[in-house]
Amino acid sequence: MQPQLKKTRNIGFIAHIDAGKTTVTERVLYYTHKTYKIGEIDDGTTVMDFMDEERKRGITITSAATTVFWDDHRFNIIDTPGHVDFTIEVERSLRVLDGAVIIFCGRGGVEPQSETVWRQADRYKVPRLAFVNKMDRAGASFSHCVNMIRSRLRAVPIPIQIPIGREDHFEGVIDLVTMKALYNTDEDGSTVTVGEIPEACREEAQVYHDQMIEMLAEFDEKLFEKYVDSSPVTEIDIHSALRMVTLTNKAVPVLCGAALRNKGVQPLLDAIVNYLPAPSDKPPIEGHDPKSAERILRKPNIQEPFCGLVFKVMTDKDSRLVFLRIYSGKIEKGDMVYNSTAGKSERLARIFQMHANKRERLDIAYAGEIVAVTGLKYAMTGDTLCPEDKPIVLERIQYPEPVISLAIEPKRKVDEDKLIDCLNKLAQDDPTLTFKIDPDTGQKVISGMGELHLEVIANRLRDDFNTDINTGRPQVVYRETITSPVKHSAEFDRVISDKRQFAGISIELRPLERKSGFVFEDKIRKPDVPKQVRDWLESSLVESAQCGVLSGYPLVDVRVSVLDVIFDQNDISEIALKAVANQALSDAQRKAASKLLEPIMNVEITVPDKYTGGVIGDMTARGGQIQEVNLLDDDLAGSSALDVLKTITAFAPLSALFGYSTALRSLTEGRGTFSMEFSHFGDKL
């Protein structure tokens, strides 16, 4: 049956690690009767964390989708990881979601990854609710968490609930819209009892209620008029204003609870219905024609041509699932769809509604739905699917650059091809995982977002793909150069197989500026030297420059000029010419005082202002050279050091940056991020 767009909510649960996101999701599944037993992380019985690695570590690693029903509304939910190493899962989920619930720990408040996911939601303009979880924990403070949302995230939080009691005495929540107390009275929390606000909480509740009305009046003209005239404000007025400020991202309603103690989850579900957008509330999706680049819009209804975005690919030993957000039109199993990004047509074999790792077959899927399909061999994350006669290309998903690398090799030589095949499959699933074979060292190197990320990849290779591997630190590839100009002459005169092989050469080596590479120059003035001889000398010198005299690394930032050559005009010897060129270059390098150059990376670090000094000191100790320190947003000059972000640009040797992601998180309490790219081979800093 076709779902009603107005009663559909495509939402995600996102948070810092250990804020209780998966615990909230498991209660949502239970209270919506999707499951009949509450899954617990500590017991390894959660539905949404279904991978062995997730249950073993007690954290979410990959996003999981499910569909539940509440109050006659359909929720398509994506549960995302909280660890920074798996931020791509949040990135691609937010790209296709209409709304989000951001969960904060009542004690920790706005933690480092909270900031990251908040900025991601800002980038995609995703309306959101805030849920302050763990109100039963020692040190939990609702007001402190609300203040941190305001100061650190520069948002406008509007509490629509406050807790009844705190820490061990947390009993329930006060709904500031209805001014009623809500309690979960039975052990599993399935029954919500509505009562009067306790006497001890009435004054505080009234203060919060008045503040809520006052804040909403700033954004809602109708409410403002009633506020100024001191007219009665109804629940409908408040609901309408809250929905408006949420959908327009002007403010964020804040709720609270304690999911582990089964308190406060049902009111959160009601808030999702009341305040987060349906697909029909969102503007038409925008794309462009793949040929003309003309702007195209697709409205969220089934009368429009089909348009969908691939936001996730999941590959295992047996199948390849492609996760798809349908923005317009509909698809049926067996349909031919056109991948406008790759320029290929493929047939949809099956369509599934996902419940974590379980699949429910569908014959048809409509606009506004999130489904998984099989049969698509070429579809990758970020690709657009559409009819071939109505092509459109949607904006692609942006991926963060990998920041850490690991050398990897199979324990058995016979598993070489299998390892490469498995890595290619994993890289299709995870765009932040890259894999290459280093042309200089021959090492297989994987790169990712952090040490945990690569550790999980290594474990998946062993456990999921049955590939035994060894891992280690990647080799740093150096280069060689010279420090002074030199001229050198050499001769080659030998008898090989009863035949004399003779040639002589004069060359000049000169050091060049960094990033110049290896430059060959023909300065032979003799007009009778054949072109073939000149070509042999050039190819031999270029080839010889690939192996320097110090440690066998390539020779760079050097100009080699051939000044003269002598040979037997009657019997030109290719062997002798190439041998003498190789010999002359090696000898000249030794005379010119060769030295090693190391790879220098261009590093850009983003940190809150209060950590700038420590990060600069650490980078300098690593041999880095600071280039610039700038405000990320000039408009924030003079703001609190907690708010202001600064970017530090530096040159640093690659050899000093292994493990830097972990060090930076330690220096900045997890709030710093960085990216790096190769700049040049240079002198040791």
pLDDT above 70: residue 1: no
Both structure tokens of 171: 């009993």
| Domain co-membership, 170 together with 255 | yes
Start-to-end CA span in the chain (Å) = 66
167 within a domain of the structure (yes/no): yes
Query: Domain of 524: which CATH number?
Result: 3.30.230.10
Q: Which domain holds residue 246?
A: 1-275
| Domain co-membership, 376 together with 410 | no
The string of pLDDT tens digits covering residues 92-130 is 888 899 999 999 999 888 876 788 788 888 988 999 999
Among 217-231, 343-357, 453-467, name the most confident range: 343-357
| Domain co-membership, 374 together with 414 | no
DSSP state for residue 4 in the 8-state scheme: P
Query: Domain of 448: which CATH number?
Result: 3.30.70.870
Among 285-289, 428-432, 434-438, name the most confident range: 285-289
The response to whether 680 counts as a known ligand-binding position is no
Residue ending a domain, among 592, 618, 640, is 592
Q: Residue 350 forms beta bridges with which residues?
A: 374
Window from 267-271, 524-528, 589-593, 676-680 with minimum mean pLDDT: 676-680
- Sign of the four-CA dihedral 366, 282, 111, 32: negative
Is the model more confident about 613 or about 120?
A: 613
**Amino acid code (one letter) for 17:** I
**Residues 372 and 323: beta-carbon distance below 8 Å:** yes
| Domain co-membership, 10 together with 108 | yes
Angle at 141 between CA 137 and CA 145, to 5 degrees: 120
The response to whether 402 counts as a known ligand-binding position is no
35 within a domain of the structure (yes/no): yes
- DSSP for 217-255 reads HTT-HHHHHHHHHT----HHHHHHHHHHHHHTTS-EEEE
| Domain co-membership, 489 together with 609 | no
**Residues 50 and 58: beta-carbon distance below 8 Å:** no
| Domain co-membership, 367 together with 414 | no
**Residues 301 and 278: beta-carbon distance below 8 Å:** no
Total residue length of the chain: 685
The response to whether 552 counts as a known ligand-binding position is no
| Domain co-membership, 602 together with 674 | yes
pLDDT above 60: residue 685: no
The response to whether 80 counts as a known ligand-binding position is yes
The response to whether 33 counts as a known ligand-binding position is no
Q: What is the mean pLDDT of residues 3-9?
A: 88
pLDDT above 80: residue 205: yes
Among 492-496, 536-540, 660-664, name the most confident range: 536-540
The response to whether 16 counts as a known ligand-binding position is yes
The response to whether 82 counts as a known ligand-binding position is yes
The response to whether 20 counts as a known ligand-binding position is yes
**Amino acid code (one letter) for 406:** L
Query: Domain of 44: which CATH number?
Result: 3.40.50.300
The response to whether 134 counts as a known ligand-binding position is yes
pLDDT above 70: residue 220: yes
- Domain total for the chain? 5
The response to whether 250 counts as a known ligand-binding position is no
Instruction: Kindly give the interhelix angle for 112-123 and 87-96, rounded to the nearest 10 degrees.
Output: 30
Residue ending a domain, among 592, 607, 632, is 592
The response to whether 135 counts as a known ligand-binding position is yes
The string of pLDDT tens digits covering residues 164-199 is 998 888 999 999 999 999 999 888 899 999 999 999
- Per-residue pLDDT band for 632 (boundaries 50, 70, 90) equals low
- pLDDT at 639 (0 to 100): 47
366 within a domain of the structure (yes/no): yes
- pLDDT at 317 (0 to 100): 60
Query: Domain of 643: which CATH number?
Result: 3.30.70.240
The response to whether 138 counts as a known ligand-binding position is no
- Per-residue pLDDT band for 423 (boundaries 50, 70, 90) equals confident
The response to whether 481 counts as a known ligand-binding position is no
| Domain co-membership, 1 together with 79 | yes
pLDDT above 60: residue 527: yes
Number of separate helices (H) and strands (E) present in the chain: 15, 37
User: What span, in angstroms and rounded, lies between the C-alpha atoms of 685 and 676?
Assistant: 17
The response to whether 79 counts as a known ligand-binding position is yes
459 within a domain of the structure (yes/no): yes
| Domain co-membership, 3 together with 96 | yes
- pLDDT at 373 (0 to 100): 94
| Domain co-membership, 22 together with 169 | yes
Q: Residue 494 forms beta bridges with which residues?
A: 501
pLDDT above 70: residue 2: no
264 within a domain of the structure (yes/no): yes
The string of pLDDT tens digits covering residues 551-581 is 888 899 999 999 999 988 877 888 888 999 9
514 within a domain of the structure (yes/no): yes
Residue ending a domain, among 557, 592, 627, is 592
- Per-residue pLDDT band for 447 (boundaries 50, 70, 90) equals confident
- pLDDT at 467 (0 to 100): 86
- pLDDT at 542 (0 to 100): 92
**Residues 13 and 104: beta-carbon distance below 8 Å:** no
The response to whether 498 counts as a known ligand-binding position is no
Q: Burial, 489: exposed, middle or buried (Cβ in 10 Å; 0-12, 13-18, 19+)? A: middle
| Domain co-membership, 309 together with 234 | no
| Domain co-membership, 581 together with 612 | no
CA distances from 58 to 43, 50, 342, 358 (A): 9, 11, 38, 20
Closest to 424 in 3D by CA, of 310, 351, 320: 320
518 within a domain of the structure (yes/no): yes
189 within a domain of the structure (yes/no): yes
The string of pLDDT tens digits covering residues 454-472 is 888 888 888 888 888 888 8
The string of pLDDT tens digits covering residues 494-503 is 888 888 888 9
The response to whether 22 counts as a known ligand-binding position is yes
